[in-house]
Structure 1
């Protein structure tokens, strides 16, 4: 891990999950780290 708090880790997981359900497929639908961070910034 990166040493983030539980709340930060849960928020990151929620962003990844939200992005993953917008594309078809399983593993290929996972966002990159940059895409997940952009979701947190409201950029996507």
Structure 2
């Protein structure tokens, strides 16, 4: 697991850096979402 050093003295930069790392990690994972079954269309949340 990679480690990142995130400066926290500027909260806006900390938030941006963390969101960028998470976004890039999710893109690299290449997750395929399966189609939902017709039964799930009737579920209300």
TM-score (norm: length of structure 2):
0.42
**Larger relative contact order (CA 8 Å, sep ≥ 6):** 1
TM-score (norm: length of structure 1):
0.43
Q: Which has the higher helix share?
A: 1
Rg: which structure is higher? 2
